Amino acid sequence: MDIAIKKISNQMIEESSNILAWLKQFKDYERPTAISILTHLKFISRDSYSTWFNKNIYPFLQGNEKFAFYAIRKMEATEELWEGNGDIINRPAEKLGSEDFVISLINNNNNFFDHPSIDKLKKEKINNIVLIDDAIGSGKRASTYIRKFINQKTLKSWWSYGIIKLYILSFARTIESEKIILDSLPGSNHHKRKYKKSEKINFNSPIIYTNKFLSKRWGAEYEHILKLCDSKTDIPENYRRGFGKVMSNIIFEHSVPNNIPGMLFCKKNHWLPLFPNRTIPIEIIEMLNNKPKKSTNKPVIQSIIKKNKSKSFNNQMINNEMLQLILLIKRGVRNKTSLSLRMDLDIKIINELLNKAICTGLITQKHFLTKSGKNFLHAQNINEDFNYDYSLYIPKSWCADQSSIQPFA
pLDDT over threshold 60, residue 134: yes
Q: Are residues 261 and 151 located together in one domain of the fold?
A: no
Confidence class of residue 89 from pLDDT cuts 50, 70 and 90?
A: confident
* Average pLDDT over every residue of 392-399: 46
Return the SS3 of 379: helix
Domain count, the chain: 3
pLDDT over threshold 90, residue 104: no
In a domain, 51, yes or no: no
Boundary (domain end) residue, out of 182, 209, 236: 209
Boundary (domain end) residue, out of 158, 191, 209: 209
In a domain, 59, yes or no: no
Domain containing 364 — which CATH number?
1.10.10
Parent domain of 214: 10-45+210-289
* Average pLDDT over every residue of 145-158: 95
Q: Are residues 233 and 134 located together in one domain of the fold?
A: no
Q: Are residues 154 and 140 located together in one domain of the fold?
A: yes
Q: Are residues 267 and 312 located together in one domain of the fold?
A: no
Residues 6+ apart with CB under 8 A from 235: 229, 262, 263, 266, 268, 271
For 42-74, b/e burial (b = at least 16 CB within 10 A) is: bbbbeebbeebbeebbeebeeeeebbbbbbbbe
Element (H, E) at 176: helix 175-184
**CA torsion sign, 93 to 251 to 166 to 356?**
positive
More reliable by pLDDT, 60 or 45: 45
Tens of pLDDT, residues 200-230: 999 999 888 887 789 889 988 899 999 999 9
In a domain, 104, yes or no: yes
Q: What is the pLDDT of residue 392?
A: 43
Tens of pLDDT, residues 175-189: 999 999 999 999 888
In a domain, 50, yes or no: no
Tens of pLDDT, residues 5-57: 899 998 899 889 999 999 999 998 999 999 999 999 999 998 888 888 878 87
Q: Are residues 318 and 399 located together in one domain of the fold?
A: yes
Q: Are residues 215 and 178 located together in one domain of the fold?
A: no
Q: What is the pLDDT of residue 98?
A: 59
Q: Are residues 110 and 242 located together in one domain of the fold?
A: no
Q: Are residues 219 and 258 located together in one domain of the fold?
A: yes
Q: What is the pLDDT of residue 160?
A: 92
Please name which of 320, 303, 195, 174 lies closest in space to residue 248, comparing C-alpha atoms.
174
Residues 6+ apart with CB under 8 A from 324: 343
Q: Are residues 174 and 272 located together in one domain of the fold?
A: no
Q: Are residues 170 and 74 located together in one domain of the fold?
A: yes
Tens of pLDDT, residues 299-322: 432 333 343 333 334 443 456 778
In a domain, 58, yes or no: no
Q: Are residues 319 and 204 located together in one domain of the fold?
A: no
Q: Are residues 235 and 334 located together in one domain of the fold?
A: no
In a domain, 330, yes or no: yes
Boundary (domain end) residue, out of 289, 320, 351: 289
